[in-house]
Amino acid sequence: MNTASPFSQIVGIETEYGIQAIAEDASTNPTIGSAQIVDAYAKYHGSPRWDYQGEDPLNDMRGMRIDRRQAHPTQLTDVPLEIAVLPAQISPDGGVATDAPLGAHGRLAPSSRLATNAVTRRGGRLYVDHSHPEVSSPECYGPVQAVLEDAENDRIICEANRLAGNRYRIIKNVADQHGHTWGHHENYRISRSLPWKKIVPILASFLALRPIYCGAGWVRTSSKTRPAGYEISQRARHLECIQGLQTTYRRPLVNARDEPHDHAQQWRRLHIIAGDPNLLAYSTYLRVTSTSLLLWTVASLWETSHLGSLESWLLKDPVKAAHQVAADPHLASTVELMDGRLLPALEVLAQYAKVITQTWQARAAEQLDLQASSVQQAINDWNETLHLLQTDLSQAAMRVEWLAKYQLLDRQRGRWGSGWEDPRLAALDIKWADLDPANSLFEIYRRKMPILAPPVGRGTQRTRGTLRAELMGHPAVVKAGWTTAVLADPQNSRSYRIPLGAADNQQAIIEDGDQHGIDQLTIPQLLAKFARSAIEIEE
């Protein structure tokens, strides 16, 4: 098992964005609106189609596989979504005049199909996920680089919306006031030698408590069972079970999809769907670094047969705890442990941090790579944040997004003399997450209030994502996916599929000192870069 460094693993971040039609010619159908945004980006950048080769969404970490005939339609993410609008519905500038009807997979004729996938300039993916535009980062070397790519994802979706005519309001959140939720996902490459049954209870307990320092917060409207209020996590209320393959119904704390996008015998891709997206980058930094540290610690303690130091802090009911913690902006909630103890949620979280800190200190001398100083910095920052949440909330608000937003909205609530049911507060909550700087409440807050920037610098380590981004510069690339790309040679009407290697592949097509760019390579020259692995296929 490789436990060389907590920050040497491959990490990725995906965000589904909320959209609202704001232009007169914008579609009120969010799926079509999302497709317009993706299509505009794909056409402007000449993006190839997505290659679904190797995708396997119905395989389960628990050694099971769902029969395709029994799978929920939303689980079939390995087939392209086709959206078509009738020519009469397309205005001269590309807008959709009326809501287009959608048949099975949107197949209509005669029609103009909108692109629903695009490979981004960063080597990630922009696509329509159900009724939302989603941006997936490329593979990142460690969590610090993932923080940078999360910000790039925001820039990409804003660019795509601009290219589509700014017809839509782009909102970085995962829940609305009507009970709907969508996704913000994290991906961590972990060793397959670590038993899945050992990972799940520890990870579920950790994820239930994690929003305390990295939740995005939201204004909860009143319902039949609960009055209006403020919750520290947008996603937690929608989590209903410990683990499962599904992502759009009965959502689990731990997603069990076994789709590694890598060497399957060696690696798992841990797909976390339980978190909130953050605008405050320091919260993103705390979230992905602490999760990377937890996963490294689990692997380290399993390797040395000391996993009990974490297992002694397992929650009896992580789903119930997640709901309790999310509903308590005063951080006074207690949670029940597996052994029956009732402890403050913050104290249990501090115990996780203590075990992780001690494990790192015991093995720090073994870490000879350049990541060691970043790891120690992240551990210090996380422990300091947990301390501030217990001692100085004004200082903690410089790091923790839900707290910054809560203090702002609570002050405004006091000025208005209203309760949390005031619809103006829910409107401000949405305005906080608006990615348009001219309309964003967060942007105003960022300019006027002290917030802490994460110590992330600039990532330079190559990954498979870098290779994918470089391949986008060649006109012969007609498809690309997570693990493969397809080249088409018009001279002989042949197509070739090339594997892109492992997620941490550092291959460079154009070496330092080369005088020409990738676009100047002939197809034979490009194929020669993958001579041992290119396969001729029928397209």
Residues with catalytic function: 129
Residue 166, φ and ψ in degrees, nearest 5: 50, 45
The C-alpha torsion from 363 through 365 and 367 to 372, rounded to 10°, is: 100
**Distance separating alpha carbons of residues 26 and 93, to the nearest angstrom:** 11
**What is the DSSP annotation of 162-217?**
HHTTS-EEEE--SB-TTS-B--EEEEEEEETTS-HHHHHHHHHHHHHHTHHHH---
Long-range contacts of 27-30 (CB under 8 A, 24+ apart): 27/95, 27/96, 27/99, 27/100, 28/99, 29/99, 29/100, 29/102, 30/131, 30/132
Indicate the pairing of strand 140-141 with strand 18-21. Answer: unpaired
- Residue 368 identity (one-letter amino acid): L
Tokens 């809560």 locate to: 406
Contact indicator for 94, 165 with CB cutoff of 8 Å: yes
DSSP string, 395-457: HHTTT-HHHHHHHHHHHHHHHHT--TT-HHHHHHHHHHTB--TTT-HHHHHHHHS--PPPS--
Question: Does residue 260 have a cis bond before it (omega within 30 degrees)?
Answer: no
Rounded to a whole number, what is the largest CA-CA distance in the chain? Answer: 74
Picking from 259, 232, 152, the residue whose alpha carbon sits closest to that of residue 503 is 259
E strands within 45-156? 49-50, 83-85, 112-114, 117-119, 125-129, 132-136, 140-141
Phi, psi of 465, rounded to the nearest 5 degrees:
-65, -35
Q: How far is it, in rounded angstroms, from Cα 302 to Cα 312?
A: 14
3-class DSSP state of 65: strand
Closest by Cα among 64, 314, 14 to 188: 14
Q: What dihedral do alpha carbons 163, 168, 172, 175 form, nearest 10°? A: -150
Q: Which residues contact 3 (CB under 8 A, 6 or more apart)?
A: 296, 299, 300, 303, 363
